[in-house]
Amino acid sequence: MRADGKVRLVLLFVAIGVIAAIGVGTQFVGAPDSDPDLAEMGAPSSRSAVPATLEPAVAGAATPSAVAVTPAPTVSPSTAAPRPFVHDFAQGGTPRPPAPSPTAPVPFEWFRIDCDFAYGVRGQCISWSRLTEEERAAEDWCGYLARIGWTSGIVVPDGSPDPRNLDRNGDGVGCGDGDIA
């Protein structure tokens, strides 16, 4: 807005303020800091109706014919972009107690992943959880592996305890040609 526009606006506001000061019009003024009803507000829908306990600030104004002239704003107009409009959603709940500064590493238990790292190379996952009852009863580990796709045997890494004794000939390949009777 140009400067002369501002001057005209200020004069207009002054004139309106004078009219308002002589008691013409209806005003409802909220004072949330002192109003216990308002202090309870803040519903998640952001719709919360203003309590009906709010009273006219100007006595005798609540008649159908009483219409206020435009009040004098207390701020200057702005052409700025709007500020972010943020709702007061999800404000309930009790925060967890603060965690203390750790004194030891947080362990990550790889054994709780259903991959048997005694077999295969990194990136492979040997899971025994899909054994059938028959395979489990017969301890048919190699048959199971073949069924789920390991038809050429499986690497038994150096140092592996080979808990299911898959590499009977010790060539580093479990369920290989020399391992299956």
Partner 1 sequence: MRRARLHRRALTAGVGGSLLVLALMPPLSAYASANLIVNGGLEAHDGVMPVCWERSGYGNNDFVFELTDQAHSGDVAMSVTLTSRTDGDRKAMMLESASCAPNVIPGHQYDLSVWYTTTTPDTVVTMFRHDVALGWQYWMDLAHLPVTSTFERKTVRTPPIPPNTDQLTWGVTIYGVGTLVTDDYSMVDVTLPVEGDVCSAGDACVEGYWDVLPFNAPARAMHAVVLHNGNVLFIAGSGNSEELFNAGEFRTALYQPYTGTFIDVPTPADLFCSGHVQLPNGRVLVMGGNRNYPSPDYSVGYGGLRNSYIYDPATNAYQQINDMIAGHWYPSATILGNGDVISLGGLGEDSSGTVIAEYFDYSEERWLSFPETNQNWAFWGLYPAMILMQDGRLFYTGSHVFGPGLPGTGASIYDYESGTIVDVPGLQRKDERDQSMSVLLPPAQDQRVMTVGGSLPEINPDANRLVDIIDLKQPNPRYEPGPLLPTGFLDGGVPQTEEQGKKYVSLVILPDGTVFESGGGMHTQASPVYGASIFDPTTNTWTKMAPNPTPHTYHSVSFLLPDGRVMIMGNNKADGSYDTHMSVYSPPYLFKGPRPQITSIDTREWTYGSTQEITVDVPIVKAALIRPAAVTHSSDPNQRYVELPLSVNGNTIGLNVTSNPNIAPPGWYMLFVVNANGTPSVAEWVHLT
- Residue from 83, 133, 137, 181 that binds partner 1 (CB under 8 A)? 83
User: Which CB sits closer to partner 1, 115 or 173?
Assistant: 115
Burial of 101 (0-12, 13-18, 19+ CB in 10 A): exposed
What is the pattern of x (binds partner 1, CB under 8 A) and - over residues 23-52?
--xxxxxxxxx----x--xxxxxxxxxx-x
Whether 21 and 72 have beta carbons less than 8 Å apart is answered as no
Specify whether the CB–CB gap between 73 and 13 falls below 8 A.
yes
Q: Which is nearer to partner 1, 102 or 181 (CB)?
A: 102
Report 101-140 residues binding partner 1 (CB under 8 A).
Answer: 101-102, 105-108, 110-115, 117, 120-127, 129-130
Q: How far is the CB of 101 from partner 1 (least distance, A)?
A: 6
Smallest gap from Cβ 171 to partner 1, in A, equals 17
160 binds partner 1, rule: CB under 8 A: yes
Residues 161-180: x/- map of binding to partner 1 (CB under 8 A)? Answer: --------------------
Enclosing H/E stretch for 174: strand 173-174
Give residues with Cβ within 8 angstroms of 14, minimum separation 6: 72
Please give the Cα distance from 33 to 39 (Å, whole number). Answer: 7
Q: Which of 85, 84, 92 is nearest to 43 (CA)?
A: 92
